């Protein structure tokens, strides 16, 4: 990573009562990287994402983005600065059209339906869903719905996109489609931080992997190094497998 990192997290913790869900995590992400975050259930991955996007405030630590301290900024301010994330398409959103769903991302930065629709169409085009823009989202397959979630994040025109288990429940073909999509967007300059359970996907996704265990960073490095690390195997797959 040369120069100032895009995202610079220093000693961030989050306490829920007696539980330290995130415990002193530091992480730098450079522009153009794809970094995967793995770890057992309850390791603190989603809590860490929520600290980054502002849904939660850290108990300790600092988060800098594009050189600015954003630790106390609200989620919509962070989104305007260039943070995008996927959110699952909820039941109520499936009654909206594919285009309307994608427009939700555009509204964050733009005023007016027309501007948001133009940007949303461009986002749908980049995920290969432009031909389905007028369909109800409920008509989409699960794989298409995940691509729509990515389109909604892209419509926010973010610098960094946080993907929270976008592969869950997808078949091999759909996983390959999303992998190709992320790599294409990455080549076009987007940075990704990805929570992923499927280790085959993690290997295909990224050169750099971060492992969280009980809130703390257990290991960090390239995928092969990290996934063959004994402490990681024990934490992630259980001591018997190590
Ligand atoms: N709002 C909350 N209040 C209290 N405890 C919470 C809250 N959110 C998360 N936790 C706890 O914090 C810990 C970390 O949870 P988190 O969801 O971040 O883990 P995770 O690594 O994303 O897990 P999974 O892989 O199962 O999604 C868990 O013990 C969880 O029960």
Give per-residue pLDDT as tens, 148-177: 999 999 988 899 999 998 898 889 999 998
Structure tokens at 149: 């979630």
What pLDDT shows up at residue 107?
A: 72
Q: Are 241 and 229 in contact (CB under 8 A)?
A: no
What pLDDT shows up at residue 92?
A: 64
Cα first-last separation, the chain: 32
CATH of the domain at 202: 3.40.50.300
Q: Going by CA atoms, what residue is nearest to atom 25 of ligand 1?
A: 41
| pLDDT confidence bin for 91, thresholds 50/70/90 | low
| pLDDT confidence bin for 206, thresholds 50/70/90 | confident
Question: Which of 18, 39, 46 gets mutated to test ligand 1 (max ligand atoms within 8 A of its CB)?
Answer: 46
The residues facing 32 across adjacent strands are none
Task: Evaluate if residue 239 carries a pLDDT over 50.
Answer: no
Nearest atom in ligand 1 to the alpha carbon of residue 215 is: 14
**List of residues 6+ apart from 146 with CB closer than 8 A:** 86, 166, 167, 170, 174, 178
CA dist., res. 158 & res. 81, Å (int): 8
Task: Evaluate if residue 241 carries a pLDDT over 90.
Answer: no
Dihedral (Cα; 120, 163, 22, 50), 10-degree rounding: 10
**119 and 46, same domain (yes or no):** no
Residue 105's nearest CA partner among 140, 150, 166, 170 is 150
Give per-residue pLDDT as tens, 20-62: 999 999 999 999 999 999 999 899 999 999 999 999 999 999 9
- Of 157, 183, 200, the one marking the end of a domain is 157
Q: Are 66 and 35 in contact (CB under 8 A)?
A: no
Give per-residue pLDDT as tens, 62-81: 999 999 999 999 998 999 99
**152 and 121, same domain (yes or no):** yes
**233 and 194, same domain (yes or no):** yes
**95 and 72, same domain (yes or no):** no
What pLDDT shows up at residue 236?
A: 74
| pLDDT mean across residues, the chain | 89
CA dist., res. 94 & res. 145, Å (int): 9
Mean pLDDT throughout 180-198?
A: 92
- Alpha-carbon distances of 174 from 64, 141, 170, 229, rounded to whole Å: 34, 10, 6, 29
Q: Is 127 a pocket residue for ligand 1 (Cβ < 6 Å)? A: no
Q: Cα 134 from chain centroid? A: 26
Q: Residue 133 belongs to what domain range? A: 88-157
CA dist., res. 20 & res. 214, Å (int): 8
Q: Is 45 a pocket residue for ligand 1 (Cβ < 6 Å)? A: yes
**Total domains present in the chain:** 2
Question: Could you tell me the pTM of the whole model?
Answer: 0.90
The residues facing 14 across adjacent strands are 22
Residue 31's nearest CA partner among 4, 51, 62, 67 is 4
ipTM given for this complex:
0.96
**78 and 121, same domain (yes or no):** no
């Amino acid at each position: 990573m040369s120069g100032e990192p895009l995202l610079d997290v220093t000693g961030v913790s989050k306490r829920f009562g007696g539980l330290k869900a995130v415990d002193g995590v530091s992480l730098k992400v450079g522009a153009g990287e794809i970094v995967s975050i793995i770890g057992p259930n309850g390791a603190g991955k989603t809590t860490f994402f929520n600290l980054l996007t502002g849904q939660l405030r850290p108990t300790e630590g600092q988060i800098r983005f594009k050189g600015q301290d954003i630790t106390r900024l609200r989620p919509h301010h962070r989104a305007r600065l260039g943070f995008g994330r996927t959110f699952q398409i909820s039941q109520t959103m499936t009654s909206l059209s594919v285009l309307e769903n994608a427009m939700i991302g555009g509204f964050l930065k733009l005023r007016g339906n027309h501007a948001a629709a133009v940007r949303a169409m461009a986002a749908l085009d980049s995920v290969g869903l432009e031909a389905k823009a007028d369909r109800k989202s409920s008509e989409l397959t699960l794989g298409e719905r995940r691509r729509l979630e990515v389109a909604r994040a892209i419509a926010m025109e973010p610098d960094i996109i946080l993907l929270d288990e976008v592969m869950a429940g997808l078949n091999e073909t759909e996983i390959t489609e999303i992998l190709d999509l992320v790599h294409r967007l990455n080549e076009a300059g987007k940075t990704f931080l990805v929570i992923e359970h499927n280790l085959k996907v993690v290997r295909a996704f990224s050169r750099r992997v971060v492992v969280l265990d009980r809130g703390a960073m257990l290991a960090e490095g390239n995928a092969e190094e990290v996934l063959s690390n004994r402490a990681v195997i024990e934490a992630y797959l259980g001591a018997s497998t190590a």
